[in-house]
């Protein structure tokens, strides 16, 4: 019994000693098993490199005009133009009708107000006024002219001319042979805008030759209804086309 006890004790001691030496190795194997596997070269994630592109202006697509729309381009300026409006040159003949010579038979009913000639309030009749046309640069611009422009600012509440009317004539006379020729007539019938002033532009074929002729305007403002409005405002005249003067 004692021999068996001795051998049993030696065997137990050997087992304990083996366990003591195996424990670190077992712990190391567990740690290696829990450690993540190192990624190889094919699994490595490369850092992202951002490329900064140079800034460039935003280019908007060109706008196409709407069908039927006309666009007029002026260098340095974009603006609409009224089709019926023709710009006057720098030096046309320009007249404010309040500065004319009034006939004696109209002196009792005429009213010269601001830039217009009209009738005194509640009066009726016809006012007759005369104006001389002077040879400013753009009324004698061509030699000869084939077209001139006449622009009128006026007001007329009766578009038929039955109770109110505005009209004038351009007269011409030759300085050598004389004569009295009417070369243009303006009539407000069918052109009025009610109680507001409006502008009318005509393009008659007039050649102003101040070397051989004199020109003047004879205007009439008529009203038979004391409540109607009839006013002749400004007049502009210039030559627009023809042969350039030498």
Contact present, 187 and 84 (Cβ < 8 Å): no
Residue 55 vs residue 109, higher pLDDT: 109
| pLDDT higher than threshold 60 for residue 166 | yes
pLDDT in tens, 176-224: 999 999 999 999 999 988 999 999 999 999 999 999 999 999 999 999 9
Does residue 7 form part of some domain?
no
Provide, rounded to the nearest whole percent, the portion of the chain with pLDDT above 70: 65
CATH of the domain at 188: 2.60.120.260
Domain for residue 12, yes or no?
no
Residue 143 lies inside a defined structural domain of this protein: yes
Structure tokens at 227: 């409540």
What does the pLDDT average to over 118-135? 97
Q: Is residue 49 part of a domain?
A: no
Spatial CA neighbour of 194 closest among 163, 157, 160, 164:
157
Confidence of residue 35 (pLDDT cuts 50, 70, 90): low
**What is the per-residue pLDDT for 186?**
98
Helix (H) or strand (E) holding 31: helix 2-34
Give 10-24 pLDDT, tens digit per residue.
455 545 455 545 555
What are the pLDDT digits (tens) for 55-103?
444 444 444 444 444 444 444 444 433 345 567 777 999 999 999 999 9
User: Which residues, other chains included, contact 82 with Cβ-Cβ below 8 Å and sequence gap of 6+?
Assistant: none
Q: Could you identify the residue written with the tokens 């603006």? A: 79
> Is residue 198 domain-resident?
yes
Note whether residue 215 is domain-resident: yes
Average pLDDT, the chain: 79
CA distance 86 to 79: 15
In a domain, 84, yes or no: no
Please tell me the total count of domains within the chain. 1
Res 140 pLDDT > 70: yes
For the entire predicted model, the pTM comes to 0.65
Residue closest to 137 by CA, chosen among 237, 26, 57, 213: 237
The verdict on residue 171 lying in a domain is yes
Which residue segment(s) compose the domain that 175 sits in? 89-244
Helix, strand, or coil (residue 117): strand
Mean pLDDT of 93-117: 95
């Amino acid at each position: 019994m004692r021999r068996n006890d001795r051998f049993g004790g030696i065997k137990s001691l050997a087992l304990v000693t083996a366990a003591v030496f195996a424990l670190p190795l077992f712990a190391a194997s567990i740690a290696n098993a829990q450690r993540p596997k190192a990624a190889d070269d094919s699994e490595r994630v490369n850092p992202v490199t951002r490329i900064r592109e140079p800034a460039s202006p935003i280019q908007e697509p060109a706008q196409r005009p709407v069908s039927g729309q006309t666009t007029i381009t002026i260098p340095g300026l974009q603006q609409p133009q009224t089709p019926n409006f023709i710009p006057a040159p720098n030096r046309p003949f320009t007249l404010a009708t309040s500065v004319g010579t009034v006939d004696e038979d109209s002196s009792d009913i005429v009213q010269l107000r601001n830039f217009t000639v009209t009738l005194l309030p509640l009066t009726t009749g016809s006012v007759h006024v005369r104006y001389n046309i002077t040879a400013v640069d753009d009324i004698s611009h061509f030699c000869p002219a084939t077209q001139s422009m006449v622009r009128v600012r006026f007001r007329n509440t009766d578009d038929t001319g039955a109770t109110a009317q505005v009209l004038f004539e351009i007269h011409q006379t030759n300085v050598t042979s004389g004569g009295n020729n009417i070369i243009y007539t303006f009539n407000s019938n069918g052109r009025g805008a009610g109680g507001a002033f409006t502008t009318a532009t005509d393009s008659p074929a007039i050649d102003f030759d101040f070397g051989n002729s004199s020109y003047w305007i004879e205007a009439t403002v008529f009203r038979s209804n004391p409540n109607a409005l009839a006013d002749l405002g400004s007049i502009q005249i210039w030559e627009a086309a023809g042969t350039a003067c030498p």
